[in-house]
C-alpha cells in the first residue's frame, strides 16, 4: 500500500491540481494543514478519499512532515508539496522499488523568473521511502535513511518559486538551523542560495565560501554549490573564485552549468579589469563553446539552457562585443530558434 503524505498551508490555487495528478498513483492521501486561512481546508474536505489533519505550525518542516507520515497506513510514503504536480510517471516502477526495498528519487522541474524570462531548473530529490523513515532539519529537511536510491521515473513540475519571495521566511529558519551546527555545508549552501536570490551577494559569497570549505566533493549538491559560488563571486569579484575554478575544472567537466558560470565570471572579470582581457578573451569563448559541445552528449544540467540556448546567446553577446557580427548573428539565431526572446531582440539591434 502506498500513501501520500503532504503538508499544506494556504494553497487554494494549487491543491486540486496536485491531488488530481497523484490520485491514481497512491492508495491513500494524508494531508496535514498547518494553519490555512484561505479555502485550502474547504477544498480538501470536498475531495474524495483524503484524510485531513491539523497541526499547529512551529517553524519546523520536519515536525510537520513526520506528523503526516505517522498518520499514514501504507508500507511506503510519497511526499509532494501542494505547489507541485506530476507531469510524467506512473505507479508501476514504484511497486518495483517497494519490492526491492529502496529509496525512490523523483525529478523536480522548477519554474522561476529571470530577466523577464521564465526559466527552469531541475534536480533529483528523495521523495519515496518506507514508512518508518523520518525527516530531520527545520527547513530544507533531509530524509534519514541509508537504503540504495533508485529513480522512480516520476517527474514533477514545481511552480512555487515563480513570482514569489520565500527568503523572508527561509533565511531566519536557515540561520536558526545553523546554530546547531555552524559548519553544516548543506545548510550554509542553502543560506547562500537564499541570499543570492535576494541579491545580497556579499552575504551569499561568504556563506558559500564557508560551505565550500566544509563540503565533501562526493556530496550530491557539490556541483550546484560550486556553480552558486561562481555566480555570487562574479558579483563581488572574489579573487578566490579563480582558485575554485581551477580546483574543479576536472571534477565538473561534464556539468554544463559549471562552464556557463565560469564563462560569465571571466566575462565580468575582464569588463572590470580590461588589462587582463587578452589573457582571458579566448577562454570566455571556450567556456560557452564547451557548453554547446557537451550538450550533444550525456551531461549534467541544473539550469535548462546552459548547454543550449543560454550558452548560444552568450556566445552571441561575446562575438558582438568583439565586433564579429556574423558569428554573433549565427549564435543569436540558434538561441532564437529555441524560443529565447532576448536573442530575438539582440538580432533586431544587431542589424540596425
CATH architecture for the domain at 253-352: Alpha Horseshoe (1.25)
Beta bridge partners of 84: 158
Beta-strand relationship, 76-78 and 2-8: parallel
The pLDDT score that the predictor gives to residue 162 is: 59
CATH code for the structural domain at 165-237: 1.25.40
H or E element: which one contains 6? strand 2-8
Please give the model's pTM, rounded to 2 decimal places. Answer: 0.89
> pLDDT at position 115, please?
63
pLDDT of residue 163: 57
**pLDDT tens for residues 89-145?**
999 999 999 999 999 999 999 887 766 677 888 889 999 999 999 999 999 999 998
Q: What are phi and psi of 89, to 5 degrees?
A: 125, 165
Domain 165-237 in the same topology as domain 2-158: no
List C-alpha distances in Å: 194 to 163, 176, 228, 274. 15, 14, 11, 31
Tens-binned pLDDT, residue by residue, of the chain (352 aa): 999 999 999 999 999 999 999 999 999 999 999 999 999 999 999 999 999 999 999 999 999 999 999 999 999 999 999 999 999 999 999 999 999 999 999 999 988 776 667 788 888 999 999 999 999 999 999 999 889 999 999 999 998 775 566 767 899 999 999 999 999 999 999 999 999 989 999 999 999 999 999 999 999 999 999 999 999 999 998 779 999 999 999 999 999 999 999 999 998 888 887 777 788 889 999 999 999 999 888 899 999 999 999 999 999 999 998 899 999 999 999 999 999 999 999 999 987 7
Cell of 95: 511497486
Sorted by where each begins, the domain ranges of the chain are 2-158, 165-237, 253-352
In terms of Cα–Cα distance, which of 189, 215, 48, 56 is closest to 123?
A: 189
CB neighbour list of residue 334: distance below 8 Å, 6 or more residues apart: 309, 312, 343
- Going by CATH, does the domain composed of 2-158 fall within 3.10.180.10? no
Amino acid at each position: 500500500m502506498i500513501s501520500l503524505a503532504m503538508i499544506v498551508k494556504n494553497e487554494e490555487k494549487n491543491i486540486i491540481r496536485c491531488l488530481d495528478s497523484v490520485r491514481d498513483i497512491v492508495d491513500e492521501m494524508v494531508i496535514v494543514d498547518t494553519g490555512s486561512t484561505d479555502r485550502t481546508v474547504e477544498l480538501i474536505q470536498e475531495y474524495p478519499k483524503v484524510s485531513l489533519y491539523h497541526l499547529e505550525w512551529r517553524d519546523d518542516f520536519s515536525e510537520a512532515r513526520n506528523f503526516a507520515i505517522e498518520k499514514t497506513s501504507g508500507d511506503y510514503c510519497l511526499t509532494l508539496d501542494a505547489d507541485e504536480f506530476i507531469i510524467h510517471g506512473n505507479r508501476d516502477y514504484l511497486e518495483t522499488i517497494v519490492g526491492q526495498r529502496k529509496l525512490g528519487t523523483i525529478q523536480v522541474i522548477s519554474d522561476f523568473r529571470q530577466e523577464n524570462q521564465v526559466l527552469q531548473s531541475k534536480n533529483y530529490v528523495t521523495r519515496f521511502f518506507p514508512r518508518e523513515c523520518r525527516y530531520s532539519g527545520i527547513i530544507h529537511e533531509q530524509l534519514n535513511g541509508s537504503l540504495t536510491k533508485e529513480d522512480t521515473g516520476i517527474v514533477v513540475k514545481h511552480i512555487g518559486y515563480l513570482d514569489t519571495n520565500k527568503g523572508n521566511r527561509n533565511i531566519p529558519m536557515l540561520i536558526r538551523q545553523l546554530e546547531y551546527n555552524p559548519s553544516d555545508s548543506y545548510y550554509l549552501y542553502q543560506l547562500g542560495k537564499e541570499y543570492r536570490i535576494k541579491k545580497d551577494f556579499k552575504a551569499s559569497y561568504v556563506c558559500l565560501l564557508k560551505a565550500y570549505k566544509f563540503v565533501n566533493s562526493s556530496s550530491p549538491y557539490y556541483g550546484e554549490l560550486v556553480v552558486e559560488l561562481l555566480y555570487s563571486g562574479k558579483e563581488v569579484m572574489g579573487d578566490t573564485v579563480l582558485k575554485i575554478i581551477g580546483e574543479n575544472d576536472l571534477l565538473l567537466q561534464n556539468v554544463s552549468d559549471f562552464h556557463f558560470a565560469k564563462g560569465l565570471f571571466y566575462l565580468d572579470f575582464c569588463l572590470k579589469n580590461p588589462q587582463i582581457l587578452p589573457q582571458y578573451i579566448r577562454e570566455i569563448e571556450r567556456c560557452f563553446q564547451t557548453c554547446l559541445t557537451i550538450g550533444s552528449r550525456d551531461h549534467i544540467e541544473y539550469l535548462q539552457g546552459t548547454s543550449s540556448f543560454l550558452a548560444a546567446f552568450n556566445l552571441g553577446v561575446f562575438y558582438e562585443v568583439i565586433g564579429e557580427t556574423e558569428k554573433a548573428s549565427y549564435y543569436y539565431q540558434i538561441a532564437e530558434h529555441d524560443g529565447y526572446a532576448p536573442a530575438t531582440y539582440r538580432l533586431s539591434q544587431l542589424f540596425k
